[in-house]
Amino acid sequence: MTGSPAKAAVAGPRSVALIGAYGSGKSTLFEALMAAAGAPLKRQSDIRKRVVTTELRLGHCSFLADRWSILDCPGSVEFAYEMEGALAAVDLAIVVSEPTAGRASSVPLLLKALEEYRLPHLIFVNKIDTLAGSFDDTLAALQAYSKYPLAARQLPIREADAVTGYIDVVSGRAYRYGANQGAEPIEIPAQLRDPEKQALDGLAEVLADQDDALLEKLIEEVAPTSAELYQQLRKDQASGTIVEVLLGSAARGQGILPLWKTMRHDVPDAAETAAHRGVGAGEVPLVQIFKTVQAGKLSYGRIWRGVLRDGATFDGARVGGIHRYAGGEPVRAPEADAGELVALGRLDGVATGAILGILGAAGSLPFPAPLPPVFALAITAKDRKDDVKLSGALHKLVSEDPALSVEHVAETAETILSGQGEIHLNAALERLATTYNLQIATAAPKIAFKETIKRRVQQHSRLKRQTGGHGQFADVKLEIEPRGRGEGFLFTDKVVGGAVPRQYIPAVREAAEEAMQKGPFGYPVVDVGVTLVDGTFHAVDSSDMAFRTATRLGIGEGLAKAEPVLLEPIEHVTASVPNIFTAAAQRLLTGRRGQILGYAERPGWPGWDDVEALVPAAELHDFIIELRSDTMGLGHYRRRFDHLAEARGMTP
């Protein structure tokens, strides 16, 4: 069909990941690829899995005797960590793109992730049946995002407004899409002769940039042979220096066989990928776990080296079952070969990202570092009896998915679950419900407000209880005053002549400090100085206890008179957006009481800006939702505590 030469030797198992924006058609393509390879998914599991777009899906099949592991990745940016884990494990990524320029929204972020892994990738322009506008515009838009040159392998043939077939650029042959994934050869439509020639010249030029011999031929105006072009395509695609672009319709089964053939020829061998990462050849198995599910009952791993046998042990963890997924259903296997992705059963205590076996000094199997969380919820078990169970379940959840984090915040007495967005956290809560049978109540996290005072006051406090026998007496004169922001609490003793005997001073100091735990508004009080200036005592009735009580009451009254104010945490926010959205990001931040500090080009991210601002924490709870919705889903941000500031116009 594409007229490629037969592949020299039968390769070992290889793997690809399908990545792309939510709804671009990855799952449909996954099913189409499996079907074309004679391993159609069972209808039932199709329907079930369609709904769950938040989980990786693994499938196995053979195409022309080559064995393949295919990963269908979730599309939402909120599951980017899961997708990046998949990228760490495969030989090549297939970026599934919308067909129309301007709708390729998450492509830039994906290409960035691929660049970071230096992972070879090709682009499948899907939904070609809905192409509006020119395909050249689509290519130009994709090229604008890509660091590497695109090599268009196909051109669409249009009749009336519909795409009815394609031209294979290298062979110059035209095909009309038929039923059942087939395509019949046709004459090249006359109006496409010139575009075809231009496309071929363009392809040859892209390849010549990578190869001197080819370049010389072009300069001497000698046309390279198809065989030369195929060979160079294979070399450049497998090494990731070019990005081949194919097109089709996953839903209609169009363009699937050409994609398979390109994969067959141009996806690097698993051994090449391993060598690239510094994993030497050998017999001793080396496995990388790129995802764990079901509380560690199942771990997805890539076999980087050797043959993995069921029952093998690694540091005490024993492989309890090896599974492949033909037709979407798990099939148990006695062993798995290097280059395969398989699911491993019951690897106790093995977390996402773990390496089983000995990598050796030269190797580096990079695994994504979890992204800083951008969305958080305070969570509680609806049934208090489940509290202990909840903390155990959260621990497992985080070890499965390190992009989640759990923290107990003492100040607000809340358990905070944070992650990459609302959908990500909802998926986690869903798992708590289904896997652990835990019903969870959620709320926006409380803000850790503080208080301070603005005025200096003198406060006299006298405790005198002489009921019956042993009474209580203490008398203190306190000066309570504001200190500079961040200077903290300070106690000073200025008592002279033993007006308050030495032995009671520590009790006064401790009580003063304790009184700062809760101010007039109910929040911790910061940056206040307390001076004990004078006092009196009673030889029999005074005690530590009496001085404590007098001090506590005095400070309570004094703070209320000292113009108490609420302090709110202000965060330093860095929002990263493509620069067409820089103004939008600034507007959003300003709208959230933010003070813009400025913006600058984002280092290493051409076309992106970092916008810096100081923003009250109280305004940031759902910031990521708005930021994404105003930046085509591309914007993200980091935050760190900066300082406390008076919360003007806020009543506690």
Ligand X SMILES: Nc1nc2c(ncn2[C@@H]2O[C@H](COP(=O)(O)OP(=O)(O)O)[C@@H](O)[C@H]2O)c(=O)[nH]1
- Tell me if 27 contacts Mg ion by CB under 5 A: yes
Q: Rounded to 10 degrees, what is the CA torsion of 607, 117, 152, 578?
A: -20
HSE, CB side, 13 Å, CA atoms: give it for residue 44.
1
Residue showing tokens 């998450």:
106
Interaction pattern, residues 373-392, with Mg ion; x per rule: CB under 5 A: --------------------
Q: Find the shortest distance in angstroms from Cβ 225 to Mg ion.
A: 40
Q: Indicate the residue among 46 and 310 with the shorter CB distance to ligand X.
A: 46
Using CB distances below 5 to 8 A depending on partner kind, what does residue 126 bind out of ligand X, Mg ion, none? ligand X
Among candidates 151, 122, 149, 113, which has minimal Cα distance to 604?
113
Q: Which does 23 bind (CB under 5 to 8 A by kind): ligand X, Mg ion, none?
A: ligand X
Q: Which of 7, 12, 22, 330 touches ligand X (CB under 6 A)?
A: 22
For ligand X, what does the binding mask look like between residues 354 and 393, x meaning CB under 6 A? Answer: ----------------------------------------
Which is nearest to 330 in space by CA: 313, 348, 345, 349?
345
In the numeric block, the tokens 């000073």 are attached to 492
Residue 20 interacting with ligand X (CB under 6 A): yes
| Cα separation, 66 vs 63, whole angstroms | 5
Per rule CB under 6 A, is residue 448 in the interface with ligand X? no
| Single residue of 75, 296, 368, 373 touching ligand X by CB under 6 A | 75
d(C-alpha 637, C-alpha 628), whole Å: 10
Binding of ligand X at residue 25 (CB under 6 A)?
A: yes
Smaller CB distance to ligand X: residue 156 or 285?
156
CA gap 598, 611 in Å, rounded: 6
Q: Report how far residue 271's alpha carbon sits from residue 311's, in angstroms, rounded to the nearest whole number.
A: 24
Give the contact letters, 248-267, x = binds to ligand X (CB under 6 A), - = no.
-xxxx---------------
**Near ligand X by CB under 6 A, which window of 41-49, 109-117, 125-133, 414-422?**
125-133
Indicate the residue among 250 and 336 with the shorter CB distance to ligand X: 250
**Should residue 76 be labelled a site residue for ligand X when binding is judged by CB under 6 A?**
no
608 Cβ partners below 8 Å, 6+ apart?
Answer: 576, 577, 578, 579, 601, 602
Q: How far is the CB of 312 from ligand X (least distance, A)?
A: 34
Tell me which of 2, 24, 53, 97 binds Mg ion, using CB under 5 A.
Answer: 53
Judge whether 167 and 188 are in contact, CB under 8 Å: yes
Concatenating the DSSP letter of every residue in 355-404 gives: EES---TT-----PPPPPP-EEEEEEESSGGGHHHHHHHHHHHHHH-TT-
Query: Of the two residues 53 and 549, which places its CB atom closer to Mg ion in the complex?
Result: 53
Distance of CA 606 to the CA centre of its chain: 20
Alpha-carbon gap, residue 89 to 94, rounded angstroms: 13
Stretch that binds Mg ion, among 12-20, 52-60, 61-69, 328-336 (CB under 5 A): 52-60
HEC string for 437-472: CCCEEEECCCCCCEEEECCCEEEEEEEEECCCCCCE
Q: How far is the CB of 269 from ligand X (least distance, A)?
A: 28
DSSP state of 501: -
Tokens linked to 619 = 């305004």
Closest contact distance (angstroms) between CB of 155 and ligand X is 17
Nearer to Mg ion, 26 or 396 (CB): 26
Q: Which of 126, 420, 452, 631 binds ligand X (CB under 6 A)?
A: 126
CB atoms within 10 A of CB 482: 17
What sign for the dihedral angle of Cα 526, 528, 530, 531? positive
Asked whether position 129 contacts ligand X by CB under 6 A, the answer is: yes
Chosen residue from 23, 363, 372, 524 binding ligand X by CB under 6 A: 23
- The stretch near ligand X (CB under 6 A) out of 16-24, 193-201, 237-245, 464-472 is 16-24
Span of 48-56, 321-329, 361-369, 566-574 interacting with Mg ion by CB under 5 A = 48-56
Output 129 or 272, the one with its CB closest to ligand X.
Answer: 129
- Judged by beta carbon, residue 11 or residue 58, the one nearer ligand X is 58
What residue ranges bind Mg ion (CB under 5 A)?
A: 26-27, 53
What residue ranges bind ligand X (CB under 6 A)?
A: 20, 22-28, 53, 75, 126-127, 129-130, 249-252
